[in-house]
């Protein structure tokens, strides 16, 4: 039982192989009547586009989305029906990969796919390629527009916080970072000096046929309380699934995360305080999520992406005939996936939040108590 669908109420199904004819998605459950800003969708896709800078893969794709359905042809509004988006692959070169059709690339998905399906995804990494995320980003761009139509103060902003050992965490006020500032540098690190150092590190690694990993920080501001479902679909659980489903992501933490163990409960707790009719907490070690439900404070998460598995030096490996061999990789790749991962993380965030909103509206209605300012105390 495969499942290439994400979300329950706002659902996106992606399709397409890296070196097949096209990639894309079908978005099911988008409310009707949303006036889609096509340029904003295209701009979001352009942020993850290969070839956008000297730091990323030179694969040449213009990634222009074609909308096949779900939109009123006259007004451009969503119909409430499935929105199919197709992006043609233009620069697929599966021939480039022919030399290791029988060899498993280290730390790639090749062996796992073969063990699972008994057939190699010849089209170049198949569904494990970052190219699959085109469909996610197109859908996420629409999800973000949907969210903004209801919650205009919402701000989803991710950035490169660290690459290799260059870490800008202590140098930034996370609540002050804006998307334009992030996009201003090809590294997508909004701290200028760090960005320059990261750029140098990536270019050095690239020259050496090597690759680098790092951290992405995500902050969401303006999110009301009440997002997320108890138990299995806690907001942080859905976000963790969303991010860990991205190629190369190997860890997710919320709020204080792994460092939270250094504190005791008395030190760690976030104390509530009303500021007018808005609930706040004095600190935000919870990262905006308590018991799996948003509490109105900023969401604060950190993700780690491993260094790109494709490196251009000979490596020991094994083939599908039982031989241990040496592999010399070729092909285009990102020496560091983090700059292009930023919009993908934002898109996944928008998908999770749009889904949570519609699910909440379905069960409780809209506005729900957490949107109404002073809580309805239900007669007690």
Comparing C-alpha atoms, which of 213, 207, 217, 219 is closest to residue 247?
213
Min dist CB 180 to its own copies, Å, is 26
Q: Which 3 state secondary structure label does DSSP give 60?
A: coil
Classify strands 314-319 and 103-104 as parallel, antiparallel or unpaired: antiparallel
The span from the CA of 350 to the CA of 340, in Å, is: 16
Classify strands 5-6 and 11-15 as parallel, antiparallel or unpaired: antiparallel
Which residue, chain included where needed, has tokens 């352009």? Answer: 46
Min dist CB 173 to its own copies, Å, is 22
Buried b (16+ CB within 10 A) or exposed e, 168-188: beeebebeebebebbbebbbb
Of 222 and 369, CB closest to its own copies: 369
Of 31 and 51, CB closest to its own copies: 31
Min dist CB 262 to its own copies, Å, is 6
Of 179 and 293, CB closest to its own copies: 293
Min dist CB 296 to its own copies, Å, is 7
Min dist CB 334 to its own copies, Å, is 11
Min dist CB 130 to its own copies, Å, is 11
The span from the CA of 139 to the CA of 137, in Å, is: 5
Of 89 and 179, CB closest to its own copies: 89
Ramachandran angles phi, psi of 147, nearest 5°: -60, -45
Q: Which 3 state secondary structure label does DSSP give 138?
A: helix
Of 179 and 308, CB closest to its own copies: 308
Of 24 and 179, CB closest to its own copies: 24
């Amino acid at each position: 039982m495969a499942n290439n669908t994400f979300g329950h109420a706002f659902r996106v199904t992606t399709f397409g192989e890296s070196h097949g004819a096209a990639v894309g998605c079908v978005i099911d459950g988008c409310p009707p009547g949303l006036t889609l800003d096509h340029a904003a969708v295209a701009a979001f896709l352009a942020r993850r586009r290969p070839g956008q800078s000297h730091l990323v893969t030179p694969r040449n794709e213009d990634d222009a989305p074609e909308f096949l359905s779900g939109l009123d042809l006259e007004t451009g509004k969503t119909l409430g029906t499935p929105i199919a988006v197709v992006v043609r692959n233009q620069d697929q070169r599966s021939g480039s990969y022919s030399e290791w059709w029988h060899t498993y690339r280290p730390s790639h998905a090749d062996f796992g796919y073969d063990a699972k399906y008994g057939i190699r995804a010849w089209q170049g990494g198949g569904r494990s390629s970052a190219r699959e995320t085109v469909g996610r980003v197109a859908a996420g761009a629409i999800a973000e527009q949907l969210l903004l139509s209801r919650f205009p103060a919402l701000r989803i902003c991710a950035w490169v916080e660290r690459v290799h050992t260059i870490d800008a965490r202590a140098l930034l006020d996370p609540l002050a970072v804006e998307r334009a500032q992030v996009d201003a540098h090809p590294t997508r690190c909004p701290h200028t000096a760090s960005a320059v150092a990261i750029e140098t590190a990536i270019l050095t690694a690239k020259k050496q046929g090597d690759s680098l990993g790092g951290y992405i920080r995500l902050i969401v501001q303006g999110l009301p309380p009440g997002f997320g479902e108890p138990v299995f679909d806690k907001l942080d659980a859905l976000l963790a699934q969303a991010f860990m489903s991205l190629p190369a992501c190997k860890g997710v933490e919320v709020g204080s995360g792994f460092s939270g163990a250094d504190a005791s409960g008395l030190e760690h707790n976030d104390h509530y305080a009303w500021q007018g009719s808005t609930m706040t907490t004095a600190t935000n070690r919870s990262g905006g999520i308590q018991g799996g439900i948003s509490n109105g404070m900023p969401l604060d998460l950190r993700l780690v992406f491993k260094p790109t598995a494709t490196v251009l030096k000979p490596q020991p490996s094994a083939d599908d005939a039982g031989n241990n061999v040496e592999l010399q990789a070729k092909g285009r790749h990102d020496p560091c996936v983090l700059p292009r991962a930023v919009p993908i993380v934002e898109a996944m965030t928008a998908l999770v939040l749009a889904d949570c909103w519609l699910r909440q509206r379905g069960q409780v209605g809209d506005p729900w108590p957490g949107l109404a300012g002073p809580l309805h105390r239900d007669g007690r």
